[in-house]
Structure 1
Amino acid sequence: MIKNTYASPLETTSMYEAVEVVGDYARRVRPDVCVEESVNLLVNGSRVATIIMSPDDLEAFALGYLKCEGFIRSLKEVSSVEVKWPDVHVSAPGIEGDDLGLWMEVRSSGCVGVRSSWVDVERPLPDGLSVSKDTIFYAMGFVNDLAKTWRRTGGTHCTIIFDEVGGIVAYAEDIGRHNSVDKAVGKALVGGRDLSKCFMACTGRMAAGMVAKAYRVGIPILVSNTAPFSAGIELALRAGMTLVCFARPPHMLIYSRPERITGMPEY
């Protein structure tokens, strides 16, 4: 299904000269800096999006993006993914032309996906998954451990998908927080994982677009180490999702459906 005809010609980081100043001391350094590139996503020959992103894991990105944005229900709908840098071509015969959106999207960190409304968020997600607060704190420790490019550059976001006991299912880094979600989801889907039995940990603020991506792939618990936005909270409430933010052990704020988090003290 996946064919990489022309791999990305770029690394995800590059060195640049700079002058580091610390108090009264200065020196020349060559720090690593994240590479950003424009990648075109084409579905059945039509350009769906041009996205500023890290130029790696492009196949996983394409699959995750289509699932997270509601274009496909499963990978069975995709017959092929082919990378011809800087284009990613997806063949999905079941997607009609009218389903490809009304405009082409250009974004990096992004506020929303191609679908700018949440009309597809109709039914709350089921209550099947619960995760202990200790598992969440344990899982958040992996964010810095796995974010190797972030440690080198300070310029990426990281998304990790965990099973209910904190086992790592998939992870990805990207300069855009939305892109890191798409890539991690794509990897998990290729691995055949049931995402309704997983929770997701992300860096980056929880806008409605981030919450919608998790909803569309059936992930009921979404965790971030930073802040939510009001629209993200409202969408999580509407979608019956558990949204946890500022998760920095031993602290977290649970904005919706706290009953999915077990081992909680009384409140």
Structure 2
Amino acid sequence: MRIAVVPGDGIGKEVIPATLPALTLLNEALGLGLSYEVFDWGADRWLGTGVGLPPGALDELARDYGAVFLGALGDPRIPDMAHGRDILLGLRRGLDLYVNHRPIELKHGVIDLYRENTQGLYAGVGGSVGRHGAATVAIDECVYTRETVERFVRSCLTRLRAAGRRKVTLVHKSNAVPHTGRLWQQVFRHEAEAFPELEASEEYVDSFCYHLVRDPKPYEGVLAPNLFGDIISDIGAALMGGLGLASSASICPETGFALCEP
């Protein structure tokens, strides 16, 4: 497998060079057959050229690589994170990395958190109306297709069953966001029927976050839409001891391609 290594910005340029010698040692000791190439995608390149993902990058990755190892994106010189959206969201959508797996490793065991990674409020649908340089109306729309939710839920339930999990919880907010919330509920209930080994439950996201902090032990597998999963994953990192202990992988189950972040 060839790995595309993207140190990115800030601490990523410290973390990634520190991990590569360990990766090389593991590769040699275990005969993993890995090789990697470092790419300069990040804030410096964006400021110099205005380019985040170069033309043809997605085709090259899909053709010649099996994974991306990404450090971090974010730079105070680019306050709107335009380059981060171009690179990170471009990779997620362009390579169809619709399952984000963020294991929450705690003393009692591991909670497998799965976050839908391509749609929802991060779909980029919306706009703003401004007056005298200030936004007077701002709209971001939450967009989910049944196909996306179905394949995400089905894939996650399959992974949880294979891992020997016994319980799965859907996190949503259908009482306040009824249209996408109910779509998630309908799909989850239907798909869960094919997985009788898993005890299926549902919680509103605010209640779930409260219970996760107070007592995470009842949870084994958690499924969440994009925004909720983003928030929950950082709560999980705090429970572990910090973001530096929270690994993640954004995966396309059909191709096996993964975007991995320390």
The answer to whether TM tops 0.5 is no
| Higher relative helix content | 2
Taking structure 2 as the reference length, the TM-score comes to: 0.28
Taking structure 1 as the reference length, the TM-score comes to: 0.28
